[in-house]
Amino acid sequence: MNHKLTLVLLGAAVALPAFGQVPAAPAAAPAVAITATGTFATQYMFRGQRLNAGSFQPTIEAAAGDLTLGFWGNFVIDDQVPGSSDPEMDLYGSYTTSLGKDLSLAPGFTLYTYPKADKGVGFYKTTFEPNLALNYTVEGIKFTPKVYYDVTLRGATYEVTAAYAVALKDLGTELGLTAQFGTFLLKDAANGFSPAVKGWGDYWLLGASLPVQINKESKVILGVAYTEGRNAYFKEGNSPKVVNPLAVGRWVASVGYSVAF
């Protein structure tokens, strides 16, 4: 879920063909691959903050070459945080530029929308967050340092993710392992407060996922993770800081069904 799409316009040098040469045919437009996924999760945790228990989380993603655009949603099944939105519906995108064999740069964006959020208790109905990721793979481990800046909440999030795939040849699949750490500081963490409410905290996650191929176009994805928010506080003006009650540690199990078109 989380990315501002910054489209980078690359200048192209166009040379006239020499006399007698036939110009090369223009490159074909990249094919569009569409993937739809429906996931049931036992908890909705976002950067170490628990927003509800059980939920249904659909994703529709389109990829054309290095460009990716998608929709992600969260529909609450159980234990919604009072005042938060059900549903949450986000648009995201990214554009990946190769910098070398194992190195790439990916600017992106996420537009978060919370149509039923209660603004009266400090929730926002929309926020917009550009981001920039650097992907580097060494010895099979993909490292992704990433910075986000939410222009609505006026704050940055810094995050590092490491991912590694363990081949399970006998099962015809692989076990994906993920470790993540992040920290954030927001200057307008609550909507409509004066003086403004600051929010900050850290979070980490350890997770594993196992895709099970059903046929060429579809698969089931099983996942489990433990994630925790720590050192999380709110502070309004010169008032004393208070603990963010949403920052907790939880196990999250998930099962999803994905279809590629």
Domain 33-260 bears CATH identifier 2.40.160.40: yes
Per residue in 180-211, pLDDT tens?
Answer: 999 999 999 999 999 999 999 999 999 999 99
Q: Which range, of 24-28, 89-93, 113-117, 228-232, averages the lowest pLDDT? A: 24-28
- The rounded distance, in Å, linking the Cα atoms of 143 and 159 is 11
User: In this prediction, what percent of the chain has a pLDDT beyond 70?
Assistant: 89
pLDDT the model gives residue 6: 28
| Residues 237, 240: Cα–Cα separation, whole Å | 9
Record the pTM.
Answer: 0.86
Please check whether residue 182 is in contact with residue 157, taking contact to mean a CB–CB distance below 8 angstroms.
yes
**Interatomic CA distance for residues 48 and 77, integer angstroms:** 20
What pLDDT band is residue 82 in, cutting at 50, 70 and 90? Answer: confident
As beta bridge partners, residue 251 has 226
Contact (Cβ atoms closer than 8 angstroms) between residue 201 and residue 247: yes
Better pLDDT: 86 or 1:
86
What backbone phi and psi angles, to 5 degrees, belong to 121?
-110, 15
> For the segment 9-60, what is each residue's pLDDT rounded down to a tens digit?
223 333 333 334 444 555 555 699 999 999 999 999 999 999 999 999 999 9
For residue 28, the model assigns a pLDDT of: 59
- E-assigned strand segments in the chain: 32-41, 44-46, 49-52, 55-64, 67-76, 88-95, 97-100, 103-113, 126-138, 141-150, 155-168, 173-186, 197-213, 218-236, 242-243, 249-260
CA distances from 60 to 56, 69, 133 (A): 13, 9, 21
- Residue 141 in 3-state DSSP? strand
Across the chain, which distance is largest between two alpha carbons, in Å?
79
79 pLDDT higher than 90? no
What's the pLDDT at 81?
Answer: 86
pLDDT band for position 84 (50/70/90)?
confident
Mean pLDDT over each residue of the chain, to the nearest integer? 90
CA distance linking residue 244 with residue 231, whole number of Å: 9
- DSSP assigned state of 48: T
| Each residue's pLDDT tens digit, 150-183 | 999 999 999 999 999 999 999 899 999 999 999 9
Token pair recorded at residue 205: 């996650």
**Strand, helix or coil for residue 51:** strand
pLDDT value at 117 more than 70: yes
